[in-house]
Amino acid sequence: MTDQSTDSTKILHWQCAGCAVEYPPGPQPTGLCPICADERQYIPGGVQRWVSTEELVASGLQVEFTHLEPGLTALTCDGVGIGQSALLIETANGCLLFDVPGLITEAAVQYIRARGPLLGIVASHPHMYGVQQQYSQAFDDAPIYVASKDAEWVQYSSEAIRLWDEPFEVATGIWLHQVGGHFMGSTVAVWSAGAEGRGVLLAGDAIFPVADGNVTFLRSYPNRIPLSAAVVRRIAAQAGALEFDRLYNNFSGTVPSDAHQIVQYSAERYARWVSGEYDALT
């Protein structure tokens, strides 16, 4: 226990120790984290644990920054949450945070501030909410865009949250689209200036790079729960209407080029398998 957590007069910012998603400041939450208790996730060790942001910071954990390509940086934090890789996109007018680290540090705030105002915060889906309110508060209550279909999963709300449904340009040259699948509101972003102007798809884990250079689509990654052929074809049709050549997910996965075509090929491979077309091979 740290000094912060033993001082009963201090307001702590609570997070689920499993997924790192934040809860309202105040008394330690009780019960289970609904995000981890859901069938798409799991409660590590079967025991719900909570941690405060203050404890995480005091333990010396840091947000690491990895340059991916001009204007795009990955923010990771080993030992916090489920190992997600958040992405910071720079535009001429400021930055967008797509997916959110499970930790905020003064160094992370300074890094982002040096790249212009934070125009908005977007999680691809609820596993990626991280400490989005704390990032918003550190940047003048920057708007947090939440897919309305997933609003029930937000554990710490505020007036910074903007619910949305229809595709829109969240920052100059960056469009958000809900493709669903993994979560009903699973969101991807098209960054048109990325990949030397050929376009980048920030896919969260709606569309997930795999070992052979293709991609997959799952309701649950840790529990390997599939989606139906119809849903995967729907996602592919939506992605097919977007312009991009490179894809990044939220776990440091990438399809460096030809991603548009690879998504179509992979979706068809997947749909044929889950619809029984190849059952004779099993």
Binding residues for Zn ion, rule: CB under 5 A, are: 16, 18-19, 33, 35-36
CA atoms within 13 A on the CB side of 244: 28
**In angstroms, what is the minimal distance from the CB of 38 to Zn ion?**
9
Q: Which is nearer to Zn ion, 12 or 189 (CB)?
A: 12
CB-CB contact of 155 with 23 (8 Å): yes
Please state whether beta strands 50-52 and 254-255 pair in parallel, antiparallel, or not at all (unpaired): unpaired
Q: Which of 151/210 has CB closer to Zn ion? A: 151
Question: Length of the chain in residues, anyone?
Answer: 282
Q: State in angstroms the smallest separation of the CB of 32 from Zn ion.
A: 8
- The residue among 50 and 111 lying less far from Zn ion, judged by its C-beta, is 50
Residue 127: CB minimum distance to Zn ion, A: 8
Q: Among residues 35 and 112, whose Cβ is nearest to Zn ion?
A: 35
> Whole-number minimum distance, CB 155 to Zn ion, in Å?
9
Between 33 and 123, CB nearer to Zn ion: 33
Minimum distance from residue 209 beta carbon to Zn ion (Å): 24
State in angstroms the smallest separation of the CB of 124 from Zn ion: 16
CB nearer to Zn ion: give 223 or 257: 223
- Least separation in angstroms between CB 14 and Zn ion: 11
43: Cα separation from own chain's centroid: 19
- Measured from the CB atom, the residue of 31 and 197 that comes closer to Zn ion is 31
